[in-house]
Amino acid sequence: MSAIGTLVDLLAGRGDVAALGPRDWDGILSAARAEALLGTLAHMLKDARLPESVALLFADTRAAAAVATRQALWEAEMARRALAPHGIEFVLLKGTAYAAANLSCAAGRQIGDLDILVPWHDLGRAENALLVAGWEWVKEDAYDDAYYRNHMHELPPLIHRDRDRMIDVHHTILPRTHRVTPDALALVSDAVPIEGGLALLCPTDMACHCAAHMLADGDLQGGLRNLWDFHRLVTDFAAADRGFWGKLDERAEMHGLEVAVHRAARLARDLFRTRIPSGWNSYHPRDERYRSRLLARDGWGRATDPLLQQAFYIRSHWLRMPPPMLARHLWTKWRKGGPRPV
Amino acid sequence: MRHRTRIAVGPVQFRIGSDWAAPIAALKSLYAGYPCDKARPADATVRLFAARPWRRWLRPSVHIGGDFIVPDALPLPLSMGLLAAEMGMNLQVALGWRRHLLLHASAVAKDGRAVVLSGESGSGKSTLAALLGEGEWRLMGDEFTLVEPGSGDALAFPRAVSLKNEAIAEVEARVDPARLGPLLAGTPKGDIRHLIPRADAIAAMHEPARPALLLFPRFGGEPAIERIGEGEAFVRLTEASTNYVALGEAGFAAMTRLVRETPAFTISYPDSAAGMAIVEQLWAEAVR
């Protein structure tokens, strides 16, 4: 079996750890690193009988993830201290949110930038407050800056001059020019406050955002990690609330995300054996391409299947903006010498 | 990948794959004397690859990849494949290793105690360590020194020493030519030739040593020794560590203990002989 297939099996709780040889582990570890899932795997196999060197590496990885989580939560607190005095409320998104709520998908999860959501009408004030508190622009390029401001769902990324950490300030969860427009006001108004003056999306919105981020926004680069998040989120939420799936259905429809959310559920079922309700349990031939894309990784950690990747890359831009705008954007980026647009 | 090898340096088991045979053959000959445990899964993977299939043969250029990568790193010509492999291995350790506090420093040991030499490239830390390692000292490494957070001990990372420019002739004059790799002339880092550490240094690579001296060498100028305080040593070492921030509290504790327990000096020296004499002098005072 392929390294990535074995990785998925181990994450899903299938697969026999004892049957794996040293060369299998080489591939699993590289594939897991490439998919940012090594920490997750290290947590899943915490009590398994492992080769000594793998057990040591997993212990290192868990310790590193614990430090990184602490640093990420500190960064959220820094943002709170910058924004709260101005009366600007914000909602934590993605990895930092999962860690703040201590959700099961946060165990060992790598956290990149701090992602926050502020109401559209507070965006300008939030930007100013962060600049005053020591964050600075990363992109100096005027076109990129304008591109973010006019078309994207977030400000151009800011980085803190002392702590060297990035913050992405979102005002919604999909680009403004995207074919789908989620209800950003509902995202903010139904957010759930947690300890420490922070807030999270409500469970259904969290699942919607996860699916949107994976399937509607990007080219599925790193999608396996997002799918794992989705799997754990819906599994935990459904265990806590019997009516969760019904609410998720309604909420996804309200945001225009029912296709993405249903596909995420089916893909999670196919790869991680997520238990999904019968109404969701259908078969779609096109899912096959998504599964292939999610598993396009070899035992050396290399991306495989370049044509499929390219197809998903084009798809991501097709979804993101209308064709004339896309043409103009690609033309500008190409003239500037960057082969890959933002 | 088509060509591959496994190398264990100190606590790190590498797996290196390549689109070409030459870099792997060069690595195999350089690391022939190192222990090899084929049953051990790799901690770190390095890939040497052609960006496009035809670039394997047509103006072959070696891209450095692996578990951790530096975006936009420039490729090297195939003749410098060995340097690409070395850079790839360093990169995996610098960006990926979390078990120990990593210092960008060379080290030598005697009687279970270590002298750690930290400095920028050009400070002569590699050359000093290599030359000391040809005498009564055990070479622990020329690039990284690992500090175990629990015990405070230094651990060796005795990869093949990367001799640069003038250091090449200096070492060539003293060692068996069989212990030297091919000359890589005109690399982005100047001329490079690798020195295989002595067999006893490789055999002892898992033996920890207690840090006894922290030295910050500077090549050039009159011989000079200046004692520096814990604070300055701390700041200099945080700058020389690639994982200090990532280790969080454990890194802080290990670093604090290191500078509290280990006397630290900056040293200047006009030539290797003077540098080695200063190390011996400070050593004699430190262990007295």
Q: What are B205-229's pLDDT values in tens digits?
A: 999 999 999 999 999 989 999 999 9
Of residues B41, B47, B249, nearest to A22 (C-beta): B41
Pick the last residue of a domain from B96, B114, B142.
Answer: B96
Contacts of B247 in chain A (CB under 8 A): 64, 67
Contacts of B155 (CB under 8 A, 6+ apart): B10, B11, B100, B140, B145, B146, B147, B148, B206, B208
Query: Is B75 found in the same domain as B213?
Result: no
pLDDT classification of A314: cutoffs 50, 70, 90: confident
Q: Which of A51, A70, A300 sits opposite B41 (nearest CB)?
A: A51
pLDDT of residue A166: 96
Q: Which chain B residues touch A if contact means CB-CB below 8 Å? A: 1, 13, 15, 17, 38-43, 45, 47, 49, 65-68, 97-99, 246-250
Nearest-CA distance A164 → chain B (Å): 11
Domain that holds residue B77: 3-96
Q: Which chain A residues contact residue B246 at CB under 8 A?
A: 64, 67-68
Strands B113-118 and B210-219: parallel
Dump pLDDT digits (tens) for A128-157: 999 999 999 987 788 888 888 888 889 999
pLDDT of residue A131: 96
Residues B255 and B120 grouped into a single domain: yes
Are A64 and B246 a contacting pair at CB < 8 A? yes
Same domain, B89 and B186: no
CA distance B215 to chain A (A): 28
Same domain, B182 and B65: no
Looking at the fold, whether B141 and B247 belong to one and the same domain comes out as yes
- Mean pLDDT over A18-25 rounds to 93
Mean pLDDT of B33-50: 95
Look-up of token digits 């998104």: A93
Q: Do B47 and A60 touch (CB under 8 A)?
A: no
pTM tops 0.90: yes
Name which of A254-258, A306-310, B30-34, B172-176 the model is least confident about. A306-310
Q: Do B41 and A53 touch (CB under 8 A)?
A: yes
pLDDT tens column, B98-148: 999 999 999 999 999 999 999 988 888 999 999 999 999 999 999 999 999
Write down which residue in B96, B115, B131 finishes a domain: B96
Q: Name chain A contacts of B15, Cβ cutoff 8 Å.
A: 26
Residues B164 and B186 in one domain: yes
Claim to verify: residue B92 and residue B105 sit in the same structural domain: no
Residues of chain A with C-beta less than 8 angstroms from the C-beta of B39: 22, 51
pLDDT, tens digit (0-9, with 9 covering 90-100), for A278-289: 999 999 999 999
- Same-domain check for residues B86 and B141: no
Q: Which residues of A touch B67 (CB under 8 A)?
A: 29-30, 33-34, 301
Q: For all residues of chain B together, what is the average pLDDT?
A: 95
Shared domain for B112 and B85, answered yes or no, is no
- A26 near B CB under 8 A: yes
pLDDT score, position A342: 42
What length is written for chain B? 288
Mutate which: B3, B37, B43, vs A, most A CBs within 10 A: B43
> Does the structure's ipTM exceed the value 0.90?
yes
Q: Which of B15, B98, B246 sits opposite A26 (nearest CB)?
A: B15
> How far is residue B287 from each of residues B112, B201, B284, measured CA to CA in Å?
11, 21, 6
Are B145 and B56 part of one and the same domain?
no
B79 with B212, same domain? no
Q: For residue A341, what pLDDT is reported?
A: 44
Half-sphere exposure for A86 (CA within 13 Å, toward CB): 20
The residues spanned by each domain of chain A are 3-335
- Look at B43 and A53 and tell me if their CB atoms are within 8 Å: yes
Are residue B162 and residue B262 in the same domain, yes or no? Answer: yes
- Asked if residue A270 has pLDDT above 50, the reply is yes
Quote the minimal CA–CA distance from B203 to chain A in Å.
20
Domain boundary among B47, B76, B96: B96
User: What local confidence, expressed as pLDDT, does residue A177 receive?
Assistant: 83
Please answer yes or no on whether B99 and A56 come within 8 Å at the CB atom: yes
Among B282, B254, B235, which residue's Cα sits nearest to residue B115?
Answer: B282
CA dist., res. B64 & res. B80, Å (int): 12
**Chain A residues lying within 8 Å of B98, measured CB to CB:** 60-61, 63-64
Other residues' Cβ atoms within 10 Å of the Cβ of residue A62: 17
Number of domains in chain B: 2
In tens, the pLDDT along A34-54 reads 999 999 999 999 999 999 999
